[in-house]
Amino acid sequence: MLKFDIEKKSGLARAGVIHTPHGDIKTPAFVGAATRATVKALTMKEMRELGSQAILANTYHLLLAPGTDLIKEAGGLAEFSSWHGPTFTDSGGFQIFSLPDVKITENGAKFKSHINGDKFEMTPESSMQAQWAIGADIHMAFDQLAKSENKDDMRRAMERTHRWLDRCVEEHLRLAECVRNTTSEDHRLGRTASSVSEEVVFEHPQYLYAVVQGGTFLDLRAESAKYSASKDVDGFGIGGVFVADGMAEMLQTVCPILPEDKPRHLLGMGQEPIDLFIGAENGCDTFDCVAPTRMARNGSLYTLDGRINIKNAKYKNDFTPLMPECDCECCKNYTRAYLHHLFKTDEITAKVLASIHNEHFVVSTVDKIRESIIHDTFDEYKNEFLSRYYK
Ligand SMILES: [Zn+2]
C-alpha cells in the first residue's frame, strides 16, 4: 500500500505526506501538468527550483508519442524526463473521451490518433499496462468520462467506470505480482521472471488510484465514492469536475465516504486560486491543472491582486516587478515593462518567465495552504487571500 501520513487535520482538510518510491510529497500539493513528459516552456531544473514536488503525465499523449515502449526502454518516466521525483500518470480516459470520433464498448474505447490518424483501442487492461510501462509512481484507473447533464447517461458512465475499475484493479495486482516475482538480479540483467510477461521491467512499486465519477449528481457521487472505497486501491482521483460551482458540496459528499488514510487527487482543477482553497478545505490532498502554464503562455499572469494581462499597454513603462511579494526567478529579476516587451515581440523567453511565475504562484499558494492547516490559520489565510485576489 502507498504510505500516507496525516500530520494535521482541520475539519475535512488535512496536511500530510505521501511517501512515493521517488520521494515524499508534502500535502496539500499542486502537481505540475507534464502532459507529454514535459511541463510546457519549463525545464525540470526550473520546476525543481520553483518548488514543484511532483508531476503528472498523460498516458494518452505518451501512448501516441513517443510510445510507452520507448519510455520503458529509457528507464521510465522519471529517467526519461530527468524529473527524479514523484510522478503520476492520468489514465488517458479524459482525453480519449474528449475526442470527436471515439467508439465506446464494454471492452474499452476505440479512437484515432489526433496526430496521424492511427487506430488505437484502450481497455482498462491496456491502460494499466501502458501506465506500468511508463512507470510513474501513481496511476489512475481508466474511467469513462461523461459530460452529460442527463442523469441516466451519467449513471451508465459511472457504472461502466465501476466495472472498468474492477478490471483495472485485477490487472494492476497482476502486474504488481510480476514485479514482486522478479528478482533484483533479473532487473539488473533486464530479465523478467519465468511467469512474467515482457510488460514489467521496473523494480519500484507502482500504485493505483480509483477515479470517483458521478458529475453534478450528489447521490451518484456518493455511490461512486462508496464503490471506489470498497476496492483494493491506494488512493482516489476525483474526476469530472469542470467548474468550481457546486464543487464544495460535491467534495463534502465524496470525501467523508472515502477512507481517511488514503490520499485524494482532484483531477484537472486549480486554474482559479479559489479552486485550490475549496479543494483543500474539503479534503483533497493533491491537484493538477494545465491552465496556469497555458495562461502564462498567453500573457495572463497571477498576482495577489488578481490576474493581469501583461500585454496590456499600461505595463509598457511599468518598471516594477510582476508581483513584488513573489520570490520566483521572474519576479526577482525582471520588470513588468520587460515582460510586456518580450510578449509584444513574441520572444520565447516571455513564455518561459511567465510560466515560471504562474507555476510558482499556484505551487506556493498550495504550500501556504498546507502551512495554514498545520498552524490552524487556514480560515484567516483563505479570507486574506481571496478578499484581495477577487476584490
Ligand atoms: Zn513570480
Rounded distance between C-alpha atoms, residue 234 and residue 72, angstroms: 23
Ligand 1 centroid distance, CA of 368 (Å): 15
- pLDDT tens digit string along 239-286? 988 777 899 999 999 999 999 999 999 999 888 999 999 999 999 999
Region 378-383: what's the mean pLDDT?
98
Ligand 1 centroid distance, CA of 243 (Å): 26
- pLDDT level of residue 200 (50, 70, 90 thresholds): low
Ligand 1 centroid distance, CA of 90 (Å): 28
Task: Indicate the pTM of the whole model.
Answer: 0.95
Note the residue count of the chain. Answer: 391
pLDDT at 94: 86
Grid coordinates belonging to 64:
501516441
**What residues pair up with 236 in beta bridges, in sequence order?**
210, 264
One-letter amino acid identity for 187?
Answer: H
Look at residue 181 and tell me whether its pLDDT is greater than 50. yes
Of 336, 345, 344, 266, whose CA–CA distance to 305 is shortest?
A: 336
Grid coordinates belonging to 74:
529509457
- pLDDT tens digit string along 154-169? 999 999 999 999 999 9
Ion ligand 1: residues, Cβ under 5 Å: 326, 328, 330-331, 357
Number of other CB atoms surrounding residue 117 within 10 Å:
7
Q: Per the residue annotation, which of 90, 234, 275, 285 is the catalytic one?
A: 90
pLDDT at 202: 77
- pLDDT level of residue 197 (50, 70, 90 thresholds): very low
Beta-carbon contacts of residue 30 (< 8 Å; ≥ 6 apart): 52, 270, 276, 286, 287, 288, 289, 362, 363, 365, 366
pLDDT at 186: 62
Ligand 1 centroid distance, CA of 110 (Å): 43
Inter-residue contact 28 to 15 (CB < 8 Å): yes
pLDDT at 243: 78
pLDDT at 2: 97
Grid coordinates belonging to 197:
510477461
> 170-184, 195-209, 332-346: lowest mean pLDDT where?
195-209
Half-sphere exposure of 325 (CA within 13 A, CB side): 8
Look at residue 196 and tell me whether its pLDDT is greater than 50. no
Grid coordinates belonging to 75:
528507464
Q: Counting Cβ atoms within 10 Å, is residue 300 exposed (0-12), middle (13-18) or buried (19+)?
A: middle
Ligand 1 centroid distance, CA of 20 (Å): 29
Ligand 1 centroid distance, CA of 331 (Å): 4
Region 192-198: what's the mean pLDDT?
44
Of 213, 228, 287, 286, whose CA–CA distance to 259 is shortest?
A: 228
- pLDDT level of residue 187 (50, 70, 90 thresholds): low
Q: Per the residue annotation, which of 69, 166, 288, 379 is the catalytic one?
A: 288
Half-sphere exposure of 299 (CA within 13 A, CB side): 19
Known catalytic residue at 90: yes
Rounded distance between C-alpha atoms, residue 181 and residue 171, angstroms: 15
Of 321, 317, 292, 367, whose CA–CA distance to 51 is shortest?
A: 367
- pLDDT level of residue 185 (50, 70, 90 thresholds): low
Rounded distance between C-alpha atoms, residue 213 and residue 253, angstroms: 12
Number of other CB atoms surrounding residue 346 within 10 Å:
8
- pLDDT tens digit string along 114-156? 888 889 999 999 999 999 999 999 999 999 988 788 999 999 9
